[in-house]
Chain A
Amino acid sequence: MQSTTLILMLVFMSAAAFYFGRRRSLATVGGPGHGSALHSLPGYYGYYVAIWCAIPSLLILLIWLIIEPRLVVAMVIEGLPEAYRTLSEGEINLLVNNIQNLASGDAVSVEVDAALLEAASSFNAYIDRSRDLLAVFALGIAGLGGAIAWRGIHADLRARNRVESVVRWALVAASSIAVLTTIGIVLSVLFEALRFFQKVPITEFLFGLNWSPQTAIRADQVGSSGSFGAVPLFTGTLLITGIAMFVAVPVGLMTAIYLAEYSTRRVRAIAKPLLEVLAGIPTVVYGFFAALTVAPWIRRVGESLGLQVASESALAAGVVMGIMIIPLVSSLSDDAINAVPAAMRDGALGLGSTRSETMTKVILPAALPGIVGGILLAVSRAIGETMIVVMAAGLSANLTANPLEAVTTVTVQIVTLLVGDQEFDSAKTLAAFALGLMLFVVTLGLNVLGLSVVRKYREQYE
Chain B
Amino acid sequence: MTTMTESITDNPPPQAPVPNDGRQRDRAEGIVLSEYPRQETELGGKTIGKISCENPFMVVEDVNVYYGDNHAIRNVSLEIAKKEVIALIGPSGCGKSTFLRCLNRMNDSIESARVTGKIMLDGQDIYAKEQDPVALRARVGMVFQKPNPFPKSVYDNVAYGPRIHGLAGDRAELDAIVHSSLERAGLLKEVKDRLDEPGTSLSGGQQQRLCIARTIAVNPEIILMDEPCSALDPIATARIEDLMDELCEDYAIVIVTHSMQQAARVSRRVAYFHLGLLVEVDETNKIFTNPQHKLTEDYITGRIG
Contacts and interface: CB of A to CB of B under 8 A. Distances in A.
Interface of A: 264-265, 341, 343-354, 357, 361-362, 365-366, 459-462
B134 A352 contact: yes
A353 to B, nearest CB: 6
B148 A347 contact: yes
A28 B34 CA distance: 56
5 contacts: A343-B144, A343-B148, A350-B104, A350-B215, A361-B160
B148 A349 contact: no
A366 B150 CA distance: 8
A351 B148 contact: no
B151 A366 contact: yes
B287 interface: no
B27 to A, nearest CB: 37
Nearest to A457: B151
B265 to A, nearest CB: 25
B72 interface: no
Interface of B: 104, 106, 109, 111, 134-139, 141-142, 144, 146, 148-152, 160-161, 164-165, 198, 200, 211, 214-215, 218
Given A352-B135, A352-B161, A357-B164, A343 B214 contact: no
B150 A348 contact: yes
A143 B161 CA distance: 76
Summarize B's interface: helix, strand, loop or mixed.
Answer: helix
Nearest to B143: A350
A157 B152 CA distance: 57
A349 B160 CA distance: 12
Contacts, number: 73
Given A459-B200, A460-B200, A349 B218 contact: no
Nearest to A458: B151
A347 B215 CA distance: 9
Given A344-B148, A344-B150, A459-B200, A349 B141 contact: no
Nearest to B162: A351
Contact of A351 (B111, B146, B164, B200): B164
Contacts of A462: 146
Contacts of A265: 111
Contact of A354 (B104, B106, B134, B150): B134
A357 B218 CA distance: 15
B141 A350 contact: yes
B134 A347 contact: no
Contacts of A361: 160, 164
Given A343-B144, A347-B211, A352 B218 contact: yes
Contacts of B152: 365
A459 B111 contact: no
Contacts of A345: 109
A351 B151 contact: no
Contacts of B164: 351-354, 357, 361
Among the interface residues A343, A350, A361, which one has the most CB atoms of the partner chain B within 10 A?
A350
Q: Which A-B residue pairs are the 5 nearest by beta carbons?
A: A352-B138, A350-B142, A343-B148, A352-B137, A459-B151
B147 to A, nearest CB: 9
